[in-house]
Each structure stands twice: as C-alpha cells, then as structure tokens.
Amino acid sequence: MTRTGEQTEPTEADRDAQAAVDPVSSIESIRETGQIAPVRPHRSDLHCITIIGQIEGHLVLPPQNKTSKYEHIIPQLVAIEQDPSIRGLLIVLNTVGGDVDAGLAIAELIVTMSKPSVSLVLGGGHSIAIPVAVSADYSFIAPTATMTIHPIRLAGLVIGVPQTYEYLDKMQDRVIRFVTQHSRIKPEKFRELMTRTGELVRDVGTVMVGAEAVEVGLIDQVGGLSDALAKLYELIEARSAADAADTRPRR
C-alpha cells in the first residue's frame, strides 16, 4: 500500500490505458500510421502485413497513387523471421498489382520463411499480387474479392524486335512457374486464363470472383478474417508439434 499523497511511478498498464483514451495520442497515431489506437492494447504472437494499392518497385509512382513499397515490406519480413515472439504471419491483400520483380521478391521471401503464414485476399488481388497470395502456406479469398490474371505488360519505351517478345515470354514463365508450384492450378490452365479473350474489354485475361479462384485451384478456400486466423493458429500448433517431435530423444 502507499500513503495518501505519495506519488508513484505509473506502471506499463497505466501508460497503455492512458494512451488508449488520450485523444492527442490517437490523433498522432492516425497522422503517423493511418491507424486508430486500440482501446485495449493487446500483444499478439501474430504479425499482420497489409499490401494495398500498387506494389511499388524500382520506379517511384506519382504521389496520388496509394502504394506498398517493397523496400518497406522486405525488412518487415526479415524482422518477423528473426523475432522469436512472433509465431505466425497474416498477409492481407487488396492491391491492383504492380512491379513484377518487386512482387516476386516479396513472394519468394514469404515462401521461404520458417514461420507459418496465411494470406487473405480482400477487394482485389490482381496481377503480380497473385504470386504473393499463393506464397503463403494457406490462402483465403473473400466471397466478393476478385483476382485478375493477364499477361505481363511493359511500360515506357518498347523496341519492336523479336528479343523483346522473348524477354516478355521469359518474364511470364517466371510468374507461371511460381504460381503453379505453390498452388493447385496447372500451368496449362493458368496460361489459358492469362490469354483468354472476350472477357476483358480492353485487355486479354480473366477476372475471377471468390469461389471461382478456389475452383480452378488458385486459392485454397473462401473465407474471411476469422477463418484466416483460425487456420494460422492451426498451422502454428501443427508446426510446434512437429518441432517437439523432432527434438524428442530417441532410443
């Protein structure tokens, strides 16, 4: 007990509670991160990465574009892999796609992480976002979310020589190989969806909504946030059990 009138140092819980109700702190949080401070701070053993807008690569996009920069996402993935307090990763996608190299780099990092991961496509997971979605151990798509599969495009100066088309074909093969290796869709089916005509007004390709992406084997399951979190904890428990079995002494 403390005597009346004595001042004591605030505990961590007191500071968290004060930050949760302090309007100035909430405004600063919104200004700096775009997020509202939670009413009850909760320390989770999961980490959530959101990939929204356009995946920005080697070129800086105009300021009016909402982007996810690969130089921000890649260090986060490295930190998550090294942090022992984080047991699983949730990737939330609502993106129109973007830079091919940047998208594949993010996908390659996710698929090589030792910690369980689950992806959730909300709104849209188009173009190069598809490899990112399938790079997780398990993937979900919201019932109304869409995914657009289309051929790779080049921006800027294009030289009309055979080598340009050979380069495009090689770039396309990289995407097809990655997607088909980490999902249930066959290469022939993915290429057919990519080059389908008559569905998009000004382009070739295919738009799939929710369950259609599951039917072709691109995404594992239709679901939402609670489904994704439940699956992630299931994968974490399975990984923990497997690790415990590996460390158990053998006769």
Is-catalytic flag, 127?
yes
Q: What angle do CA 238, 186, 94 make, to 5 degrees?
A: 65
User: Which residue is it, tokens 């074909």?
Assistant: 169
d(CA 133, CA 118): 9
Residue from 127, 135, 139, 183 carrying the catalytic annotation: 127
Q: What is the dihedral of CA 179, 241, 78, 102, to 10 degrees?
A: 10
Is-catalytic flag, 42?
no
Residue from 47, 150, 182, 183 carrying the catalytic annotation: 150
> How long a stretch of residues is the chain?
251
DSSP string, 29-96: HHHHHS-PPPSS----SEEEEEEEEEEE-SSPPPTTS-EEEHHHHHHHHHHHHH-TT--EEEEEEEEE
Known catalytic residues are 127, 150
